[in-house]
Structure 1
Amino acid sequence: GAPLGYLHVLWQRGEPAGKIPARRLRRAARLHRRLGPTGKEAHALKRLREAANSNDLDTVQQLLEDGTDPCAADDKGRTALHFASCNGNDHIVQLLLDHGADPNQRDGLGNTPLHLAACTNHVPVITTLLRGGARVDALDRAGRTPLHLAKSKLNILQEGFSHSLEAVRLEVKQIIQMLREYLDRLGRHEQKEQLDDLCSRLQMTSTKEQVDEVTDLLASFTSLSLQMQKMDNR
């Protein structure tokens, strides 16, 4: 018969697959990887990375349900989560995390999925990775945090280059969600409440001037938070 994947060991314990904690999935996957994949498994692992890289959600889902290890890397250390994060595919990122992908796994160059999402400015993916347990100390090896990325994005929005009202509102909302997740992980609840207030104000906007006002307030908030971060690091 077909060789048992690492998930079968967990399922034999009488626990539904959907209820298995991500931490246990990752631990079981590491044990399985030490034994090395069979030819059929190696093909499935490669297909998973390729599907994540080509934004093929259905294939990713099918392979994960079949027990394919989401943490398996190619010869450059890249996992399916690295590819999905770089591409900005939030749905595939969430699916991989739900099936035990490690948000802090590094590729051959030392990049985590969070680094790649930050380099390509995929704010919703950063939010999802933070929720999934990605370390919040830095987005990249240069020491940038979500605050730095938010400031860069807001500077572009403040320039006002041909963005529709809805597009600006959506981007500001995504930046707020990212910062809320980041500050929540840091335990900065007072600042998180300020962001909640800005989010409420954003929802009530109906003109570009009103959205611009919220954008300016968020930019000021971000600059102040960066100053606080520098002081904390001294």
Structure 2
Amino acid sequence: MEGSSPLVAASSDGDRSSSEGELTVANGAAVRDGEKREDETPMEAAGAVGFSISRLDTLSALRLNRTRPAADTELRYLHLLWQPSELLQAGRSSPGKITSNRVRRLGRARRNMGPIGKDLYAVKRLREAANSNDIDTVRRLLEEDTDPCAADDKGRTALHFSSCNGNESIVQLLLSYGADPNQRDSLGNTPLHLAACTNHVPVITTLLRGGARVDALDRAGRTPLHLARSKLNILQEGDSRSIETLRGEVTQIIQMLREYLNIMGQSEEREKLEHISNQLQNTRTREQVDEVTDLLASFTSLSIQMQNMGDR
């Protein structure tokens, strides 16, 4: 047996166990390599040992603990799948880099354990109630801490829907619970834009009081001043409104312009507007209201020109 290799000797000896044969291979390889190749690098030595181990049977590999860490990891993973709380704790305490797979698993565990589904239903119900002018449901959901800024897949919030519908009461209620008057949808429209497109002057006034940006442009490039001018044009062309209705709509436009000028800090323009407002209060006939409307239209056009010069 002196001429035989250590590997053959170990495999042919029936009295020795497989573990002993592994030690013989390892020791034999180490002795032989140490005698013949003193300059062998650590990587080469590792390759030689790995080749010898690959010739062993499965039981030998298990005894060398080559597969135990992987097996333990798989069993531990299967165990944690049934206990998401331990998975979250493991994700916080385990050292090392957090892989994308672990992040996804943690996210799934959190979604399964948290009231996310309930929250999604509540914010969807809030938008639907605002769109259908159901102020009681809107108030109840807001009192239950439903997020008023939650948007749908198109970026629209409950404030967008109520502003578009011209429901001033719901707009005011949403603003009082922290709705953002400058939040934009996927097309870039704020609630102010939607109110401008639908000519809801009272909602414009309420949004301006709630902090809406006065320089925000809608899709047509219009500011609140442009809205006021367009509304005045409609009033001047229409003959079907009664004097009370006409006076009320002109008063709304004056109120909107008053809020606008207060925000802009234009004191001189505000004084002129107050003079026009006083004239409106003293009107008694349709012709007098039309005169005030013409005066207000001229004032608004001049304000738009001043704004354009300021933007330049």
Q: Tell me, what secondary structure is at the counterpart of 1:49?
A: helix
State the 1:149 CA deviation. 1.2
Give the match for residue 147 of structure 1. 225
1:222 and 2:290 correspond: no
State the 1:212 CA deviation. 1.1
Q: Distance in 2 between matches of 1:139 and 1:171?
A: 23
1:128 and 2:201 correspond: no
> What do the CA deviations read for 1:121-152 (whole angstroms, capped 9, x no partner)?
11110111111011111341443111111111
Superposed, 1:155-170 pairs within 5 Å as 155-170=233-248
1:44 and 2:122 correspond: yes
Superposed, 1:193-232 pairs within 5 Å as 193-232=271-310
**Of residues 135, 138, 143 in structure 2, which corresponds to 1:60?**
138
Which of 1 and 2 has higher RCO (CA within 8 Å, sep 6+)? 1
Q: Distance in 1 between matches of 2:225 and 2:154?
A: 29
Give the counterpart letter for 1:190 in structure 2: E
Q: Tell me, what secondary structure is at the counterpart of 1:215?
A: helix
Give the match for residue 186 of structure 1. 264
Give the counterpart letter for 1:204 in structure 2: N
Q: Distance in 1 between matches of 2:282 and 2:158?
A: 39
Q: Distance in 2 between matches of 1:52 and 1:180?
A: 27
What TM-score results when the alignment is normalised by the length of structure 2?
0.62
Give the match for residue 112 of structure 1. 190
Q: Distance in 2 between matches of 1:149 and 1:79?
A: 22
State the 1:45 CA deviation. 0.8
Q: Distance in 1 between matches of 2:284 and 2:153?
A: 51
Paired positions, count: 199
Give the match for residue 78 of structure 1. 156
State the 1:58 CA deviation. 0.7
Of 164-173 and 154-163, the range deviating more from structure 2: 154-163
Q: Distance in 1 between matches of 2:263 and 2:217?
A: 14
What TM-score results when the alignment is normalised by the length of structure 1?
0.81
Q: Distance in 2 between matches of 1:82 and 1:40?
A: 22
1:69 and 2:147 correspond: yes
Give the match for residue 255 of structure 2. 177
> What do the CA deviations read for 1:88-110 (whole angstroms, capped 9, x no partner)?
00000000000000001111111
Give the match for residue 138 of structure 1. 216
Q: Tell me, what secondary structure is at the counterpart of 1:111?
A: coil
On the 8 A contact 1:118/1:139 being kept in 2, the answer is no
State the 1:44 CA deviation. 1.1
Q: Distance in 2 between matches of 1:129 and 1:170?
A: 19
Q: Tell me, what secondary structure is at the counterpart of 2:146?
A: coil
C-alpha RMSD of the superposition: 1.4
State the 1:171 CA deviation. 0.9
State the 1:87 CA deviation. 0.4
Q: Distance in 2 between matches of 1:136 and 1:224?
A: 17
Larger radius of gyration: 2
Structure 2 gaps, min length 5: 1-113
> What do the CA deviations read for 1:17-64 (whole angstroms, capped 9, x no partner)?
xxxxxxxxxxxxxxxxxxx86222211111100000000011101111
Q: Tell me, what secondary structure is at the counterpart of 2:233?
A: helix
